[in-house]
Structure 1
Amino acid sequence: MNNVGEFLKTNGIKPSYQRIKIYEYLMNNREHPTVEGIYSALNGQIPTLSKTTVYNTLKIFIDKGIAMAITIDENESRFDAQMDMHGHFKCEHCHKIYDFKVNFENALEDELDDFEILDQQMFFYGICKHCREKS
Protein backbone atom coordinates (compact mmCIF):
# COMPACT_ATOMS: atom_id res chain seq x y z
CA MET A 1 0.00 0.00 0.00
CA ASN A 2 1.56 3.24 -1.14
CA ASN A 3 -0.57 5.84 0.59
CA VAL A 4 -1.91 4.94 4.02
CA GLY A 5 -3.64 8.32 4.35
CA GLU A 6 -5.69 7.68 1.21
CA PHE A 7 -6.44 4.13 2.37
CA LEU A 8 -7.76 5.44 5.69
CA LYS A 9 -9.88 8.07 3.91
CA THR A 10 -11.30 5.41 1.58
CA ASN A 11 -12.35 3.47 4.67
CA GLY A 12 -14.03 6.46 6.30
CA ILE A 13 -11.24 7.30 8.74
CA LYS A 14 -9.80 10.79 9.13
CA PRO A 15 -6.08 10.30 8.37
CA SER A 16 -4.34 12.08 11.26
CA TYR A 17 -0.57 11.75 11.59
CA GLN A 18 -0.96 9.43 14.60
CA ARG A 19 -3.49 7.18 12.83
CA ILE A 20 -1.28 6.92 9.75
CA LYS A 21 1.77 5.99 11.85
CA ILE A 22 -0.19 3.45 13.92
CA TYR A 23 -1.58 1.78 10.80
CA GLU A 24 1.82 1.77 9.07
CA TYR A 25 3.32 0.12 12.16
CA LEU A 26 0.53 -2.44 12.29
CA MET A 27 0.95 -3.27 8.59
CA ASN A 28 4.72 -3.56 8.77
CA ASN A 29 4.91 -5.44 12.07
CA ARG A 30 4.01 -9.10 11.62
CA GLU A 31 4.54 -9.80 15.34
CA HIS A 32 0.89 -8.98 16.12
CA PRO A 33 1.71 -6.17 18.55
CA THR A 34 -0.14 -5.23 21.73
CA VAL A 35 -1.27 -1.69 22.56
CA GLU A 36 1.80 -1.43 24.79
CA GLY A 37 4.07 -2.63 21.97
CA ILE A 38 2.69 -0.13 19.48
CA TYR A 39 2.91 2.68 22.03
CA SER A 40 6.52 1.81 22.95
CA ALA A 41 7.58 1.60 19.30
CA LEU A 42 6.00 4.90 18.25
CA ASN A 43 6.35 7.06 21.36
CA GLY A 44 9.85 8.18 20.30
CA GLN A 45 8.55 9.41 16.93
CA ILE A 46 5.32 10.84 18.34
CA PRO A 47 5.98 12.30 21.82
CA THR A 48 2.31 13.32 22.23
CA LEU A 49 1.11 9.75 21.66
CA SER A 50 -0.73 8.10 24.56
CA LYS A 51 -1.79 4.50 25.13
CA THR A 52 -5.39 5.73 25.10
CA THR A 53 -4.87 7.17 21.61
CA VAL A 54 -3.39 3.87 20.43
CA TYR A 55 -6.29 1.91 21.93
CA ASN A 56 -8.95 4.25 20.50
CA THR A 57 -7.28 4.27 17.08
CA LEU A 58 -7.15 0.47 17.00
CA LYS A 59 -10.84 0.35 17.94
CA ILE A 60 -11.63 2.61 14.96
CA PHE A 61 -9.57 0.36 12.67
CA ILE A 62 -11.41 -2.72 13.93
CA ASP A 63 -14.84 -1.06 13.62
CA LYS A 64 -14.02 -0.08 10.02
CA GLY A 65 -12.79 -3.59 9.19
CA ILE A 66 -9.17 -2.75 8.41
CA ALA A 67 -7.65 -4.48 11.47
CA MET A 68 -8.59 -7.24 13.86
CA ALA A 69 -8.07 -7.93 17.53
CA ILE A 70 -6.58 -11.30 18.37
CA THR A 71 -7.20 -12.59 21.87
CA ILE A 72 -5.16 -15.75 22.17
CA ASP A 73 -4.49 -15.35 25.89
CA GLU A 74 -7.35 -14.17 28.08
CA ASN A 75 -5.35 -11.24 29.46
CA GLU A 76 -3.64 -10.04 26.26
CA SER A 77 -5.06 -8.60 23.06
CA ARG A 78 -2.90 -8.33 19.99
CA PHE A 79 -3.67 -6.63 16.70
CA ASP A 80 -3.35 -7.57 13.05
CA ALA A 81 -3.83 -5.57 9.84
CA GLN A 82 -3.75 -8.68 7.65
CA MET A 83 -7.45 -9.16 6.96
CA ASP A 84 -7.42 -12.19 4.68
CA MET A 85 -8.42 -15.56 6.13
CA HIS A 86 -5.53 -16.96 8.12
CA GLY A 87 -4.82 -18.71 11.39
CA HIS A 88 -2.39 -18.01 14.21
CA PHE A 89 0.13 -20.18 16.01
CA LYS A 90 1.55 -19.06 19.36
CA CYS A 91 4.84 -20.50 20.53
CA GLU A 92 4.76 -21.37 24.23
CA HIS A 93 8.52 -20.78 24.54
CA CYS A 94 9.28 -17.52 22.70
CA HIS A 95 5.66 -16.24 22.73
CA LYS A 96 5.83 -15.20 19.07
CA ILE A 97 2.66 -15.44 17.03
CA TYR A 98 2.93 -16.78 13.50
CA ASP A 99 0.41 -16.53 10.65
CA PHE A 100 -0.53 -19.50 8.50
CA LYS A 101 -2.91 -19.90 5.58
CA VAL A 102 -6.33 -21.43 6.24
CA ASN A 103 -9.21 -22.24 3.92
CA PHE A 104 -12.40 -21.64 5.91
CA GLU A 105 -14.49 -21.69 2.72
CA ASN A 106 -16.03 -25.15 3.11
CA ALA A 107 -15.08 -25.96 6.69
CA LEU A 108 -18.07 -27.17 8.70
CA GLU A 109 -20.37 -25.96 5.93
CA ASP A 110 -23.19 -28.44 6.68
CA GLU A 111 -22.83 -28.32 10.46
CA LEU A 112 -23.22 -24.52 10.55
CA ASP A 113 -25.67 -24.17 7.69
CA ASP A 114 -28.36 -22.39 9.75
CA PHE A 115 -25.93 -20.25 11.76
CA GLU A 116 -24.85 -16.67 11.16
CA ILE A 117 -21.06 -16.59 11.46
CA LEU A 118 -19.82 -13.22 12.72
CA ASP A 119 -16.14 -14.01 13.08
CA GLN A 120 -13.72 -16.79 12.17
CA GLN A 121 -10.47 -17.33 14.01
CA MET A 122 -8.19 -20.32 14.35
CA PHE A 123 -5.45 -20.59 16.98
CA PHE A 124 -2.85 -23.23 17.60
CA TYR A 125 -0.44 -23.40 20.55
CA GLY A 126 2.82 -25.26 20.67
CA ILE A 127 6.53 -24.87 20.13
CA CYS A 128 7.76 -23.17 16.95
CA LYS A 129 10.40 -24.66 14.67
CA HIS A 130 13.06 -22.18 15.86
CA CYS A 131 12.55 -23.04 19.55
CA ARG A 132 12.43 -26.79 18.81
CA GLU A 133 15.77 -26.54 17.01
CA LYS A 134 17.33 -24.68 19.98
CA SER A 135 16.38 -27.37 22.51
Structure 2
Amino acid sequence: MTDEETQYKKGLNILQNSEFRVTKQRKDLLKYLSKFESQYVSVTDVDNFMQQLYPNVSHTTTYRNIKEFSELGIVEQRSENGQLNVKFQCDFVSPQHGHFFCQNCHRVIKIDSSLSPALKESLKEFLVLNIKLELFGLCDRCQQNSKTA
Protein backbone atom coordinates (compact mmCIF):
# COMPACT_ATOMS: atom_id res chain seq x y z
CA MET A 1 0.00 0.00 0.00
CA THR A 2 1.42 3.42 -0.95
CA ASP A 3 1.72 6.34 1.47
CA GLU A 4 -1.01 8.10 -0.49
CA GLU A 5 -3.37 5.13 -0.03
CA THR A 6 -2.52 4.92 3.67
CA GLN A 7 -3.23 8.61 4.17
CA TYR A 8 -6.47 8.33 2.18
CA LYS A 9 -7.63 5.47 4.43
CA LYS A 10 -6.82 7.49 7.56
CA GLY A 11 -8.82 10.43 6.23
CA LEU A 12 -11.69 8.16 5.19
CA ASN A 13 -11.74 6.58 8.65
CA ILE A 14 -12.05 10.01 10.25
CA LEU A 15 -14.86 10.92 7.85
CA GLN A 16 -16.68 7.64 8.53
CA ASN A 17 -16.52 8.30 12.28
CA SER A 18 -17.86 11.83 11.94
CA GLU A 19 -21.36 13.24 11.64
CA PHE A 20 -20.86 13.83 7.91
CA ARG A 21 -22.18 11.43 5.30
CA VAL A 22 -19.64 9.44 3.28
CA THR A 23 -20.57 10.11 -0.34
CA LYS A 24 -18.81 9.19 -3.57
CA GLN A 25 -18.09 12.85 -4.13
CA ARG A 26 -16.44 13.24 -0.70
CA LYS A 27 -14.44 10.05 -1.24
CA ASP A 28 -13.21 11.33 -4.62
CA LEU A 29 -12.30 14.65 -3.03
CA LEU A 30 -10.40 12.84 -0.26
CA LYS A 31 -8.56 10.69 -2.79
CA TYR A 32 -7.54 13.77 -4.78
CA LEU A 33 -6.41 15.70 -1.71
CA SER A 34 -4.40 12.73 -0.41
CA LYS A 35 -1.98 13.39 -3.30
CA PHE A 36 -1.07 16.68 -1.62
CA GLU A 37 0.48 15.66 1.68
CA SER A 38 3.77 17.49 1.13
CA GLN A 39 2.52 20.35 -1.02
CA TYR A 40 -0.32 22.85 -0.82
CA VAL A 41 -2.81 23.10 -3.68
CA SER A 42 -5.12 26.04 -4.29
CA VAL A 43 -8.79 25.54 -3.49
CA THR A 44 -9.45 26.85 -7.01
CA ASP A 45 -7.46 23.93 -8.46
CA VAL A 46 -9.35 21.50 -6.21
CA ASP A 47 -12.63 23.01 -7.36
CA ASN A 48 -11.58 22.72 -11.02
CA PHE A 49 -10.75 19.04 -10.48
CA MET A 50 -14.13 18.40 -8.88
CA GLN A 51 -15.86 20.27 -11.73
CA GLN A 52 -14.22 17.86 -14.20
CA LEU A 53 -15.46 14.83 -12.26
CA TYR A 54 -18.86 16.27 -11.39
CA PRO A 55 -19.83 19.01 -13.90
CA ASN A 56 -22.98 19.86 -11.95
CA VAL A 57 -21.34 20.21 -8.54
CA SER A 58 -21.52 23.73 -7.16
CA HIS A 59 -18.44 25.63 -6.10
CA THR A 60 -20.10 26.08 -2.72
CA THR A 61 -20.32 22.31 -2.21
CA THR A 62 -16.61 21.82 -2.88
CA TYR A 63 -15.66 24.70 -0.57
CA ARG A 64 -18.01 23.43 2.15
CA ASN A 65 -16.54 19.91 1.94
CA ILE A 66 -13.02 21.33 2.23
CA LYS A 67 -14.10 23.37 5.27
CA GLU A 68 -15.62 20.26 6.86
CA PHE A 69 -12.44 18.25 6.15
CA SER A 70 -10.45 21.02 7.79
CA GLU A 71 -12.70 20.98 10.88
CA LEU A 72 -12.18 17.21 11.10
CA GLY A 73 -8.40 17.64 10.84
CA ILE A 74 -8.16 15.80 7.52
CA VAL A 75 -6.74 18.79 5.65
CA GLU A 76 -4.69 21.80 6.65
CA GLN A 77 -5.53 25.26 5.30
CA ARG A 78 -3.44 28.38 4.81
CA SER A 79 -3.98 31.61 3.00
CA GLU A 80 -1.27 33.00 0.75
CA ASN A 81 -1.59 36.18 -1.28
CA GLY A 82 -5.33 36.21 -0.63
CA GLN A 83 -5.79 32.68 -1.99
CA LEU A 84 -6.87 29.74 0.14
CA ASN A 85 -4.65 26.67 -0.17
CA VAL A 86 -5.06 23.22 1.33
CA LYS A 87 -3.00 20.09 1.82
CA PHE A 88 -3.76 16.70 3.24
CA GLN A 89 -2.92 16.31 6.92
CA CYS A 90 0.64 15.04 7.18
CA ASP A 91 0.41 13.97 10.83
CA PHE A 92 -2.86 12.64 12.22
CA VAL A 93 -1.17 11.85 15.57
CA SER A 94 0.20 15.36 16.20
CA PRO A 95 -1.89 17.78 14.17
CA GLN A 96 -0.25 20.71 16.03
CA HIS A 97 2.98 21.00 14.07
CA GLY A 98 4.84 23.50 11.95
CA HIS A 99 5.99 23.49 8.34
CA PHE A 100 9.14 24.31 6.44
CA PHE A 101 8.36 25.67 2.97
CA CYS A 102 11.00 25.23 0.29
CA GLN A 103 10.94 28.36 -1.82
CA ASN A 104 12.51 26.55 -4.76
CA CYS A 105 10.68 23.22 -5.19
CA HIS A 106 7.63 24.19 -3.05
CA ARG A 107 7.90 21.04 -0.96
CA VAL A 108 6.32 21.32 2.50
CA ILE A 109 8.09 19.47 5.31
CA LYS A 110 6.54 18.85 8.72
CA ILE A 111 8.57 20.13 11.65
CA ASP A 112 8.11 19.80 15.41
CA SER A 113 6.60 22.98 16.79
CA SER A 114 6.58 22.13 20.47
CA LEU A 115 7.78 24.94 22.68
CA SER A 116 11.37 24.79 23.87
CA PRO A 117 11.86 24.92 27.65
CA ALA A 118 13.30 28.47 27.37
CA LEU A 119 10.31 29.67 25.34
CA LYS A 120 7.87 27.96 27.72
CA GLU A 121 9.53 29.74 30.63
CA SER A 122 9.26 33.14 28.93
CA LEU A 123 5.55 32.53 28.29
CA LYS A 124 4.65 31.08 31.70
CA GLU A 125 2.14 33.88 32.45
CA PHE A 126 0.30 33.18 29.19
CA LEU A 127 -2.04 30.43 28.08
CA VAL A 128 -0.85 29.31 24.63
CA LEU A 129 -3.84 27.92 22.74
CA ASN A 130 -2.29 27.36 19.34
CA ILE A 131 1.10 27.45 17.69
CA LYS A 132 1.49 28.27 14.03
CA LEU A 133 5.09 27.84 12.95
CA GLU A 134 6.12 28.45 9.35
CA LEU A 135 9.72 28.57 8.18
CA PHE A 136 10.83 29.43 4.65
CA GLY A 137 14.06 28.68 2.81
CA LEU A 138 15.73 25.97 0.72
CA CYS A 139 15.24 22.30 1.54
CA ASP A 140 18.10 19.81 1.73
CA ARG A 141 17.48 18.54 -1.80
CA CYS A 142 17.53 22.00 -3.37
CA GLN A 143 20.66 22.97 -1.43
CA GLN A 144 22.35 19.79 -2.64
CA ASN A 145 21.25 20.40 -6.25
CA SER A 146 22.62 23.97 -6.15
CA LYS A 147 26.01 22.67 -4.92
CA THR A 148 26.27 20.10 -7.73
CA ALA A 149 25.09 22.48 -10.47
Same fold (TM over 0.5): yes
C-alpha separation in 1, matches of 2:114 and 2:59: 34
Q: Does the Cα contact within 8 Å between 1:32 and 1:79 map onto a contact in 2?
A: yes
Report if the CA contact (8 A) 2:98-2:111 is conserved.
yes
Q: Which residue of 1 aligns with 2:86?
A: 79
Deviation at 1:35, TM superposition (A): 0.6
Most deviating of 53-62 and 78-87: 78-87
Tell me whether 1:23 sits opposite 2:30 in the alignment.
Answer: yes
Partner of 2:68: 60
- Give me the whole-angstrom Cα distance separating, in 1, the residues matched to 2:77 and 2:129: 14
Task: Give the CA deviation at 1:131.
Answer: 4.8
Higher helix share: 2
Change (3 A) 1:89 1:105: closer
CA distance in 2, matches of 1:74, 1:112: 31
* Shift in alpha-carbon separation, 1:100–1:9, aligned structure 2, 3 A: closer
Q: Which of these two proteins has the greater Rg computed from alpha carbons?
A: 2
Runs of 4+ in 1 over 6 A off after TM superposition: none
% identical aligned pairs: 21
Residues 123 and 103 from structure 1, CA distance in 2 versus in 1: closer, same or farther, beyond 3 angstroms?
Answer: closer
Conserved? CA contact 1:4–1:24, under 8 Å: no
The structure-2 alpha-carbon separation of the partners of 1:111 and 1:19, relative to structure 1 and needing over 3 Å to count, comes to farther
TM-score by length of 1: 0.73
Deviations 1:10-61 (A, max 9, x none): 0222212222222222223222212112123333222223332221111112
- Aligned equivalents of 1:25, 1:119: Cα separation in 2: 28
Runs (5+) with no aligned partner, structure 1: none
Displacement of 1:86 in angstroms is: 3.4
Secondary structure of the 2:69 match is: helix
**Offset of 1:106 from its aligned partner?**
4.3
1:117 aligns with 2:119: no
Task: Note the residue ranges of structure 2 that are not aligned, 5 or more in a row.
Answer: 1-5
Decide which of 16, 19, 25 is 1:12's aligned counterpart: 19
CA deviations 1:70-128 (Å, max 9, x no partner) are 23x3423222323434322333345x141233151546222333433332221112234
Number of equivalenced pairs? 133
Task: Establish whether residue 99 from structure 1 lines up as the match of residue 106 from structure 2.
Answer: no
Are 1:4 and 1:20, in contact at CA under 8 Å, matched by a contact in 2?
Answer: no
